Amino acid sequence: MLKVLIVGGVAGGASAAARLRRNDEHAQIVLFERGDYISFANCGLPYYIGDVIQEKSKLTLQTPESFRERFRVDVRVGSEVTAIDPKNKQVTVRRTSDGSTYQEGYDKLLLSPGAEPLRPRLPGFDSKKVFTLRNIPDTYAIKDFCDTAKPKRAVIIGGGYIGIEVAENLHHLGIHVTIIQMTDHILPPADADMAAQLHNHLREKGVALRLNTSVQEIKETKDGLTFSLSDNTTLCADFAILSAGVKPESKLAKDAGLKTGLRDAILVDDTLKTSNNDIYAVGDAIQVTDWASGTPAYIPLASPANKQGRIAADNICGGNLKYEGSQGSSVLKVFDLSFASTGLSEERLKATATPYLKSYTYSSSNASYYPGGLPISIKLLFAPDTGRILGAQAIGYTGVDKRIDVIATVLRLGGTVNDLTRLELCYAPPFSSAKDPVNMAGYTAENILQKRVRPFYAENVADIDLKKATLLDVRTKEEFEGGSIPGAVNIPLDSLREELGQLRKDQPVYLFCQIGLRGYLASRILMQSGFGHVENLSGGYRLWNEIQK
């Protein structure tokens, strides 16, 4: 009879345990969980704080009892695995109730210990009023503080996914929130140009943003906390949420001699086996292969953790399934907006000197003539040679997750920009357009790839030498008068053919419209009318303006 021990009872661990039982009705399966809860909804925790999820019971998908009943898994909560002895194939378990320990032997061991919040070793960061959020007790602690101390001001240190979700939920409770972000934009998977729209939205909602700023010291005062910031200013608040990223809980594995990699994450092969033949590892504790680039990456997300748990369970039972990599598909609600992304960001592509092209489109979430259509902006990153999809980001009010899911699917299946144009997606007016925003992103990218249009970008605008080039706004007179890029002249698209004589053919023409579409049409006219150097602002005035704000 196979005996499997599992360390960690949530996303990866519980998924593996359930699948193991289905694989082998007779195996002995022991699940060790340090905390008191298993199978809880990590991702729902921020919403409990904001009263969006109101019942405590909703936070746990399975209890130790239900899990025992249904899966006959020996669930041991309050049980921390403190050491692995790979040679003798046993672990040491510490009962958190009384500190007593015992050994438990295994045939196979699965590690799914997750990741813990990073806590910089800076003065004051260990204050009781500086909370982190990982599990149910953390959630209750924050909730209790809000309920009892009735705080008015919160500081969020780190504007990643968790930070933003908590910010929104605290804001719901009527607490004024300031997000402090070390880099120039929130949300690491987003590029700065896409994050700009989120920044503006957060500010409109009344959330304060301090970008390019870090907290250097925290002092407890009688009123709360005082934060000394890198720009030599200070800030006061009643409490803070520290959400500056996570790090793999790999100490147990390292101590046992298992190999680790990036950020000390546990190294596994493509069957999710660690450097030891009888030990598997999954979830936030492991290093994965980035699907889009094929390089090592650290991608702590729930969907990969669940999938890995299932694959590891099969391999533990003699299977030979491959986990081929994570692509970082994710989505985030930011008040009324959502941001979703998959694959590599432009920043990541730049950092790894990977060649890429990019396009920006702006489409309606459903047919423009049907009520409820709201704009979605899509940034698409693709290979200059093959057009292979490298990554995508989208922002909008609705339908954003759908578009990134479709692009994520194409990315997964190794598809190209050309595939995006060929997709036949479901269309009726309440749901989409005959040319879905994904098709449209494909068309636009394909035109760039085929050099039917030459794009320039918001970040190039400042470099245009207006003495040697024409900056041409092809929007209507009304749009132009409502605000344009300094130095631009205006010839509306629909009179461009008549006014061609006004433009110098011996100079580059930098065109723009509101989003890029009319600029593209204008490009086609000029390029076929003797203009040798014509460029079109991808993303148009809209994106440029969003970034300026």
Ligand X SMILES: CC(C)(COP(=O)(O)OP(=O)(O)OC[C@H]1O[C@@H](n2cnc3c(N)ncnc32)[C@H](O)[C@@H]1OP(=O)(O)O)[C@@H](O)C(=O)NCCC(=O)NCCS
Ligand Y SMILES: Cc1cc2nc3c(=O)[nH]c(=O)nc-3n(C[C@H](O)[C@H](O)[C@H](O)COP(=O)(O)OP(=O)(O)OC[C@H]3O[C@@H](n4cnc5c(N)ncnc54)[C@H](O)[C@@H]3O)c2cc1C
**Token pair in block for residue 493:** 């698209």
From 435, 454, 505, 533, residue interacting with ligand X (rule: CB under 6 A): 435
Are 271 and 281 in contact by the 8 Å Cβ rule? The answer is no
Binding of residue 306 to ligand X (CB under 6 A) = yes
CA distance 399 to 373: 10
Residue 121 interacts with a second copy (CB under 8 A): yes or no:
no
Smallest distance from ligand X to CB 375, Å: 11
Q: Smallest gap, in angstroms, from Cβ of residue 452 to ligand X? A: 7
* Residue with Cβ nearer ligand X (73 or 256): 73
Rounded to 5 degrees, what angle do the CA atoms 377, 379, 384 make?
Answer: 150
**Minimal distance, residue 424 CB to a second copy, in Å:** 5
Extract the tokens encoding 147. 């309920």
39 vs 93: CA distance, rounded Å: 20
* Nearest CB to ligand X, comparing residues 362 and 480: 362
Q: Least separation, in Å, of the C-beta of 115 and a second copy?
A: 15
Taking the complex as a whole, how short is the minimal distance between the CB of residue 141 and ligand Y, in angstroms? Answer: 13
Q: Do 314 and 20 contact (CB within 8 A), yes or no?
A: no
Minimum CB distance to a second copy, residue 149 (Å): 27
Residue 174 backbone class (left: φ over 0; alpha: ψ -120 to 50; beta: rest): left
Work out which of 289, 308, 447, 484 binds ligand X, going by CB under 6 A: 447
CB-nearer residue toward a second copy: 54 or 232: 54
CA dihedral 466, 514, 380, 397 (to 10 degrees): 140
Tokens of 362: 């702006």
φ, ψ for residue 246, nearest 5 deg = -130, 160
Q: Which does 118 bind (CB under 5 to 8 A by kind): a second copy, ligand Y, ligand X, none?
A: none
Q: How far is the CB of 176 from ligand Y (least distance, A)?
A: 21
Site for a second copy in 377-396 (CB under 8 A): none
**Of 334, 342, 470, nearest in space to 406 by CA:** 342
CA angle at 271 for the pair 266 and 276, rounded to the nearest 5°: 50
The CA distance from 229 to 211, in Å, is 11
Indicate the residue among 360 and 443 with the shorter CB distance to a second copy: 443
User: Is 289 one of the binding residues for a second copy (CB under 8 A)?
Assistant: no
218's CB contacts (< 8 A; 6+ apart) are 122, 123, 124, 125, 127, 130, 225, 226, 227, 228, 240
Question: Cβ 304 to ligand Y, closest distance in Å?
Answer: 7
Of 47, 48, 335, 443, the one binding ligand X by CB under 6 A: 443
114 binds, among ligand Y, ligand X, a second copy, none (CB under 5 to 8 A by kind): ligand Y
Q: Which of 423, 487, 503, 507 binds a second copy (CB under 8 A)?
A: 423
CB of 427 to ligand X, least distance (A): 7
Site string (471-510) toward a second copy, x via CB under 8 A: ----------------------xx--x-------------
Pick one of a second copy, ligand Y, ligand X, none as the site partner of residue 515 (Cβ within 5 to 8 A by kind).
ligand X
43 catalytic residue (yes or no) = yes
Q: Which residues bind ligand Y (CB under 6 A)?
A: 7-13, 32-35, 42-43, 45-46, 80-81, 112-114, 133-135, 162, 249, 252, 283-285, 300-303, 305, 330, 427-428
What's 105's DSSP letter?
Answer: E
Identify each DSSP E strand in 383-524 by its residue range: 389-396, 455-456, 470-473, 489-490, 509-512
DSSP state of 128: T
For 41, list phi and psi in degrees, rounded to 5.
-90, 80
CA distance 491 to 500: 9
Which of 262, 302, 425, 469 is the binder for ligand X (CB under 6 A)? 302
Any idea what the Cα angle at residue 343 is, between residues 340 and 344, rounded to 5°? 105
Instruction: Tell me the C-alpha distance between 130 and 125, whole Å.
Output: 6
Please work out the total of residues on this chain that contact ligand X, with binding judged by CB under 6 A.
29
Is residue 387 classed exposed, middle or buried when 0-12, 13-18 and 19+ CB atoms within 10 A define those classes? buried
Among ligand X, ligand Y, a second copy, none, partner that 243 touches (CB below 5 to 8 angstroms by kind): none
- Build a one-symbol-per-residue string for 435-474: x at contacts with a second copy by CB under 8 A, - elsewhere: xx--x---x--------x----------------------
Q: How far from chain centre, in Å, is Cα 503?
A: 44
Q: Which is nearer to ligand Y, 283 or 516 (CB)?
A: 283
Read off the tokens for 178. Answer: 């300031």
Nearer to ligand Y, 31 or 225 (CB): 31
Do residues 77 and 9 make contact, with C-beta atoms less than 8 angstroms apart? Answer: yes
The answer to whether 343 touches 381, Cβ cutoff 8 Å, is: yes
Six token digits for residue 477: 């007179």
**Binding pattern for the stretch 222-261 against a second copy, x by CB under 8 A and - elsewhere:** ----------------------------------------
Does position 10 interact with ligand X (CB under 6 A)? The reply is yes
Which is the catalytic residue, given 43, 236, 317, 426?
Answer: 43
Given 20, 285, 313, 408, the residue binding a second copy (CB under 8 A): 408
Sheet containing strand 234-237, edge to edge, reads 215-220, 225-229, 234-237
Site for ligand X in 326-385 (CB under 6 A): 361-362
Of residues 297-326, those binding a second copy (CB under 8 A): 301-307, 310, 324, 326
**How many residues in the chain?**
549
Cα(239)–Cα(143) distance, integer angstroms:
12
Binding-site member from 432, 444, 470, 514 for a second copy (CB under 8 A) = 432
- Please report, as ranges, the residues that interact with ligand X according to CB under 6 A: 10-11, 14-15, 18-19, 22, 39, 41-44, 61-62, 302, 306, 310, 361-362, 434-435, 440, 443-444, 447, 515-517, 520
Residues marked as catalytic? 43
